[in-house]
Amino acid sequence: MSICSKLKIIFLTTVIGVLCFISLCHSVLAQSYSSPTNFYLKITNDRDDDKFYPGDHIRVRIAKKNPMGQENLAQVWYIIGVEEFAKTEAPFDLNYTVRDDEIGLLKFYVLLKQLNGRRIEIENEIWVELKERLLEIKLLYPDWNVILEGLTRTHQIHVRGIFDDGENRSITYSEYGTTYHSLNEDIVTVTKDGFVTARNYGETEILVTNAGFEVRSAFKVVPK
């Protein structure tokens, strides 16, 4: 056999070995870090209902779709909002208190590490509402009667909520449940957060609603 033939055989053997090694690495990684199978994230509160409010004490539990499954956990990492928690021994459940500034969508990310080295990611989310009951909504002056001079002029509507604890809070943005609707979008348009833009001359109203309450903001677009 010539030297050239031997070199070709060595080269092909090396290439095949590298390809096999890469395939094996991919297989190991797929087994050690995979999507969830039997685990899911269950979130409950002390009232055992589906409402969540700031200050609620909630329990985050790692549950199994099949209770008879033999998967065993070695470590659990939680990421909730801007906070992180690690559990290195059973029980792996987490007790968490919802912060006052966690209004709206609150996401829970969890990384599980099993005894066999396999890693699994699971997640869930809850909607955190203002605990106090809304009694009334109001527009700030001069939002109930606005004059826009010239086309493309803009205006931000400001909405306040009166709650049963006596507090008067801003509920302008959609994350607080406030919605806006222009009764004539040829005259003015409005975003989901109450930002109004003049489109044509004329008069119309913006309907503002929250929790069954509604107010109207009158808009008049005139030439400069």
Strand partners, 148: 221
Helices (H), 33-91: none
In whole angstroms, what is the distance from residue 108 CA to residue 30 CA?
24
> Whole-angstrom Cα distance, residue 119 to residue 208?
47
CB 218 within 8 A of CB 203: yes
CB 183 within 8 A of CB 199: no
Q: Are 109 and 78 in contact (CB under 8 A)?
A: yes
Picking from 178, 182, 215, the residue whose alpha carbon sits closest to that of residue 198 is 182
Q: What is the predicted pLDDT for the residue at 89?
A: 85
CA separation for the pair 105, 116 (Å, rounded): 34
Q: What is the model's pLDDT at position 24?
A: 44
Q: Which domains does the chain have, with CATH numbers?
A: 38-128 (2.60.40.10), 134-222 (2.60.40.1080)
pLDDT of residue 73: 85
Per-residue confidence (pLDDT) for residue 18, from 0 to 100: 45
Kindly state the helix (H) or strand (E) to which residue 134 belongs, with its residue range.
Answer: strand 134-139
Task: Return the amino acid letter for 118.
Answer: R
b/e burial code for range 40-67 (CB count within 10 A of at least 16 → b)? ebebebeeeeeebbbebebebebeeeee
Tokens linked to 174: 């959609």
Residue 22 pLDDT? 47
The predicted structure's pLDDT at residue 69: 58
Cα separations (Å) of 212 from 2, 128, 166, 206, 209?
A: 89, 19, 19, 16, 7
Res 66: pLDDT: 74
Would you call 147 exposed, middle or buried from its count of C-beta atoms within 10 A (0-12, 13-18, 19+)?
middle
pLDDT tens for the chain, 224 residues long, are 556 565 555 555 664 554 454 454 444 444 444 444 678 889 999 888 888 988 889 999 988 887 655 568 888 999 998 889 998 888 889 999 998 888 889 999 999 988 888 888 999 999 998 777 889 999 998 899 999 999 999 999 999 999 988 889 999 999 888 999 999 999 999 999 999 999 999 999 999 999 899 999 999 999 98
CA atoms within 13 A on the CB side of 222: 6
